[in-house]
């Protein structure tokens, strides 16, 4: 009997919290339901699935709530790795519960499990000295300056919102993740596994072989590609807010790039064709995945997933 394909599905931030929303529990659950509905066709086609997700808005909000608790009630502050773990738990719970309900509504039976995941990074990664990962809500320049002065936080201008600023934190590269063999075994047995949330909790291995926490937020797409490679997944799907990869995005010369091999994608990447704060990290993740043995990486919008006419496909070589 032919072995079922294993796919890693990376849910973008838009799948959980939209830019114009407050982030209520009701809003997040509705967004998650709408996104997960688009995965049902993969279940019907017999795919085994691993689901990863972002946490940028959520972990930023947790940090703000934590700061308020410190100021108002004298509570001990939470470290960034604890905030990432916190966000993994709450988002994993929302995805698992909604997915269980959706599967039941469609008459499908699959086990669904959420796993708090620790992702190993290099404690000497240069990225730790150059914060780039955007977290939390968007502020005005005045609000950002005030928070920077109060907390020593670092802000950078937001790409998608003119005049907006967001906090940035270190984003080390993922090397490995714990429980890889267990995750692969569960996924290949038919369980849908939710793991690598928010890129995973960053940890490093000290000189005595012990795991130690590290302050940072790992890029979700790079972590998803690493997870896919470690479990020998066949396909990687990065769900975002556009149906394709575009050359010269939002310019008069805009062009859809539907099929790319490794060499062409790398050529465009090195030429600066893709935005560093948006599409470029996703392209790097896809290239990493196919370079390490993945058959295909796809970047598309969640609502277009079932329609094969949409989505940009990256493979090592053209068929």
Residues with catalytic annotation?
A: 13-14, 133, 220, 282
Which residues 6+ apart lie within 8 Å of 245 measured at CB? 256, 257, 258, 260, 274, 279, 283, 299, 312
Cα 40 from chain centroid (whole Å): 20
Contact between residue 63 and residue 20 where contact means Cβ atoms under 8 Å apart: no
Give the integer Cα–Cα distance in Å for 135 and 198.
11
How large is the C-alpha radius of gyration of the chain?
19
For the packed helices 220-230 and 180-188, what is the interaxial angle rounded to 10 degrees? 70
Give the integer Cα–Cα distance in Å for 149 and 288.
38
Give the integer Cα–Cα distance in Å for 221 and 177.
14
Residue from 52, 63, 61, 55 nearest 22 by CA: 61
Give the integer Cα–Cα distance in Å for 263 and 117.
32
Residue from 194, 12, 19, 191 nearest 90 by CA: 194
Q: Tell me how far CA of residue 276 lies from CA of 173, 289, 297, in angstroms.
A: 15, 19, 19
Residue from 229, 219, 244, 221 nearest 313 by CA: 244
């Amino acid at each position: 009997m032919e072995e079922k394909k294993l796919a890693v599905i990376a849910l973008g931030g838009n799948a959980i919290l939209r830019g114009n929303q407050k982030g209520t529990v009701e809003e997040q659950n509705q967004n998650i339901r709408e996104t997960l509905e688009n995965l049902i066709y993969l279940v019907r086609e017999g795919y085994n699935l691993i689901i990863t997700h972002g946490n940028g808005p959520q972990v930023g909000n947790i940090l703000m709530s934590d700061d308020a608790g410190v100021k108002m009630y004298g509570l001990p502050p939470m470290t960034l790795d604890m905030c990432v773990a916190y966000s993994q738990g709450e988002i994993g719970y929302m995805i698992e519960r909604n997915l269980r309900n959706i599967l039941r509504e469609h008459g499908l039976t699959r086990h669904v499990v959420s796993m708090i995941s620790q992702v190993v990074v290099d404690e000497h990664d240069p990225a730790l000295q150059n914060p780039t990962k955007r977290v939390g809500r968007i502020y005005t320049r005045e609000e950002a300056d005030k928070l920077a002065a109060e907390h020593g936080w670092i802000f950078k201008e937001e790409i998608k919102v003119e005049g907006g600023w967001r906090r940035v934190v270190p984003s080390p590269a993922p090397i490995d993740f714990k429980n890889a063999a267990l995750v692969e075994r569960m996924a290949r047995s038919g369980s849908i596994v939710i793991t690598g949330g928010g890129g995973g909790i960053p940890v490093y291995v000290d000189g005595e072989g012990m795991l130690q926490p590290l302050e940072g937020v790992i890029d979700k797409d790079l972590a998803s590609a690493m997870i896919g490679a470690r479990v020998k997944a066949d396909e990687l799907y990065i769900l975002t807010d556009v149906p394709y990869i575009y050359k010269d995005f939002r310019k008069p010369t805009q062009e859809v790039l539907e099929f790319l091999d490794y060499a062409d994608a790398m050529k465009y990447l090195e030429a600066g064709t893709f935005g560093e704060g948006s599409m470029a990290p996703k392209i790097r993740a896809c290239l990493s995945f196919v370079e390490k043995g993945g058959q295909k990486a796809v970047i598309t919008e969640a609502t277009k997933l079932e329609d094969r006419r949409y989505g940009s496909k990256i493979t090592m070589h053209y068929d």
